[in-house]
Amino acid sequence: MDQTAIYRIPYGLYYLGTTANGKSNICVVNTVSQVTDEPKRVSVTVLKTNFTCELMLQSGTFSVSILDADSTLADIAHFGQQSGRNVDKLAEKAISFDVLGNPVYKENCAAVMSVRVTQTVDLGTHVMFIGELADASVESDKTPMTYAAYRAKKAGVKVEAEQAAPATYQCKICHYVYDGEIPFEELPDDYVCPVCKKPKSFFVKM
Amino acid sequence: MDQTAIYRIPYGLYYLGTTANGKSNICVVNTVSQVTDEPKRVSVTVLKTNFTCELMLQSGTFSVSILDADSTLADIAHFGQQSGRNVDKLAEKAISFDVLGNPVYKENCAAVMSVRVTQTVDLGTHVMFIGELADASVESDKTPMTYAAYRAKKAGVKVEAEQAAPATYQCKICHYVYDGEIPFEELPDDYVCPVCKKPKSFFVKM
């Protein structure tokens, strides 16, 4: 059996937001799907160890932003590669709140949905949340980002970096690629990764 | 609320096959998703009135073929726009059977999965089937078909047809577009749609 067959399923990419007990968080997921049309319901599967999952089990609501193809790797790394348990990911971003009180990040976003959970399914490592639309808006007519396009974009950054001189450096924690005007080697010693705030020593030459 | 926001979720396109009580059927769906990685599980949502759904509730297994971008509109119409209750859709197609006895159509297929159902979720109009991979294979390295690419392909056929002379005809039942060498008007009166077998009178000028 070649289990990698499962990775050929095409996906989109989404910001998933929720608020519980005064804490709001947004993470990145790829498994959002419509499940019925009348009423309009969607499902999303979230890893149990994920902070957003913990909050969603308490809040019973969530927001989904459908990323468009112009979404930046820095934004995806910001919301997708750090945990809301350690970092307030919403602190320096333009966040709005939906009718259910869930945080929404609308930068490079094709559409937003606000969802009230009606069913949860225990899947061992993950919880599937199924819910009904409470609100929804189309934010742009741009092409939604697919997971394949996201990976191509990431690979493209690597290729460009390899071709470029001087050398490019990447944060090994959040994969943020430094692309400033000043050569990386000349940055001050107290430079920190703008995404995950790790010190300069966490950057590796690409 | 703009409910059309939900249609911006990107999807793939899949042939869904099953066998129960000596009857095999394949239909077309767009809502297949991986739900866990350990073990490898997928979900699929199927309309209750669908013949395949009826069979899947009895068989407890199904096959999924991930369509690649070269899949033809005729094949998609063949499996997607007729009911297995009225037509034996497998009769004139190169069908193989997986380890669980489910029919599989591998023409223009990126990967195949054989799935044993472990949970079902009643969603009113639909049933969600969640199951574990029993077998899987990668069939090609071609790009999987997205639902957006499928719609663009359909629209492209229409545009080409409009630009072409002589006039193009389409079956109003299954949307098969006649593209033979002989002008449609000159076809014999007993010509039938190669996909849904409806007579010549069911074709409309595009």
What is the SS3 string spanning A123-190? CCCEEEEEEEEEEEEECCCCCECEHHHHHHHHHHHHHHHHHCCCCCEEECCCCCECCCCCCHHHCCCC
Looking at the fold, whether A184 and A132 belong to one and the same domain comes out as: no
Residue A59 lies in a domain: yes
| pLDDT at residue B131 is higher than 90 | yes
| Torsion of Cα atoms, B88 then B90 then B91 then B92, to 10° | 130
Are B128 and B44 spatial neighbours (Cβ–Cβ below 8 Å)?
Answer: yes
Copy the structure tokens of residue B125: 């109009």
pLDDT at B194: 86
Looking at the fold, whether B31 and B78 belong to one and the same domain comes out as: yes
* CATH number of the domain bearing residue A23: 2.30.110.10
Task: Indicate yes or no: CB of B144 within 8 angstroms of CB of A9.
Answer: yes
> How far is residue A47's CA from residue B35's CA, in Å, rounded to a whole number?
10
| pLDDT at residue A158 is higher than 80 | no
Are B43 and A121 spatial neighbours (Cβ–Cβ below 8 Å)?
Answer: no
A36–B contact, CB cutoff 8 A? yes
The enclosing H or E element of B32 equals strand B32-36
pLDDT at B157: 67
Copy the structure tokens of residue A40: 């309009």
Largest CA distance in chain A: 59
Chain A residue with minimal CA distance to B124? A36
Residues 6+ positions from B156 with CB-CB distance below 8 Å: none
pLDDT at B191: 87
Radius of gyration over every alpha carbon of chain A, rounded to an integer in angstroms: 18
* CATH number of the domain bearing residue B173: 2.20.28.10
Q: Name the domain boundary from B116, B146, B176.
A: B146
Average pLDDT of the residues in A149-163: 69
> Which residues are paired to A104 by β-bridges?
A96
Could you report the per-residue pLDDT of A82-111, keeping only the tens digit for each? 899 999 999 989 999 999 999 999 999 999
Percentage with pLDDT > 90 across chain B: 67
Looking at the fold, whether A189 and A101 belong to one and the same domain comes out as: no
Could you report the per-residue pLDDT of B28-72, keeping only the tens digit for each? 999 999 999 999 999 999 999 999 999 999 999 999 999 999 999
B49–A contact, CB cutoff 8 A? no
Average pLDDT of the residues in B139-148: 90
Residue A83 lies in a domain: yes
The alpha carbon of residue B15 is apart from the nearest alpha carbon of chain A, in Å, by 12
* Cβ neighbours of B131 in A, within 8 Å: none
> How far is residue B81's CA from residue A153's CA, in Å, rounded to a whole number?
36
Looking at the fold, whether B137 and B178 belong to one and the same domain comes out as: no
**Residue A45 DSSP SS3:** strand
pLDDT band at A162 (very low <50, low <70, confident <90, very high): very low
Work out how many CB contacts closer than 8 A connect A with B. 148
Antiparallel, parallel or unpaired: β B41-47 and B61-67? unpaired
Residue A50 lies in a domain: yes
| pLDDT at residue B163 is higher than 60 | no
Cα dist from B33 to B13, B47, B91, B120, whole Å? 11, 16, 29, 14
Copy the structure tokens of residue B11: 């999807």
Copy the structure tokens of residue A142: 């741009």
Enclosing domain of residue B24:
3-146
Q: Name the domain boundary from B146, B172, B188.
A: B146
Are B155 and B162 spatial neighbours (Cβ–Cβ below 8 Å)?
Answer: no
> Which residues are paired to A177 by β-bridges?
A170
Copy the structure tokens of residue A47: 């890893």
Residues 6+ positions from B58 with CB-CB distance below 8 Å: B20, B21
Domain count, chain A: 2
Residue A14 lies in a domain: yes
B192–A contact, CB cutoff 8 A? no
In the block, tokens 């071609």 appear at B142
Looking at the fold, whether B89 and B168 belong to one and the same domain comes out as: no
Residue B72 lies in a domain: yes
Looking at the fold, whether B26 and B121 belong to one and the same domain comes out as: yes
Looking at the fold, whether A141 and A174 belong to one and the same domain comes out as: no
Residue B135 lies in a domain: yes
> Which residues are paired to A28 by β-bridges?
A15
**Residue A93 DSSP SS3:** coil
Residues 6+ positions from B105 with CB-CB distance below 8 Å: B15, B17, B26, B65, B75, B79, B93, B94, B95
Looking at the fold, whether A108 and A177 belong to one and the same domain comes out as: no
Mean pLDDT for chain A? 90
Cα dist from A32 to A58, A176, B19, B64, whole Å? 20, 25, 28, 19
Are A66 and A44 spatial neighbours (Cβ–Cβ below 8 Å)?
Answer: no
| pLDDT at residue B115 is higher than 90 | yes
A109–B contact, CB cutoff 8 A? no
Residue A157 lies in a domain: no
Residue A153 lies in a domain: no
pLDDT at B158: 54
Sign of CA dihedral B11, B12, B13, B15: negative
Mean pLDDT for chain B? 90
> How far is residue A20's CA from residue A60's CA, in Å, rounded to a whole number?
9
B-interface mutation test, from A4, A7, A9, A14, most B Cβ less than 10 A away: A9
* Cβ neighbours of A138 in B, within 8 Å: 2, 4-5, 8
Looking at the fold, whether A127 and A173 belong to one and the same domain comes out as: no
> How far is residue A64's CA from residue B111's CA, in Å, rounded to a whole number?
29
Alpha carbon B159 to its chain centroid, in Å, reads 23
Of A111, A125, A130, which is closest to B38 when you measure between CB atoms? A125
Looking at the fold, whether B130 and B181 belong to one and the same domain comes out as: no
Looking at the fold, whether B81 and B183 belong to one and the same domain comes out as: no
Are B109 and B17 spatial neighbours (Cβ–Cβ below 8 Å)?
Answer: no
Looking at the fold, whether B136 and B195 belong to one and the same domain comes out as: no
| pLDDT at residue B165 is higher than 70 | no
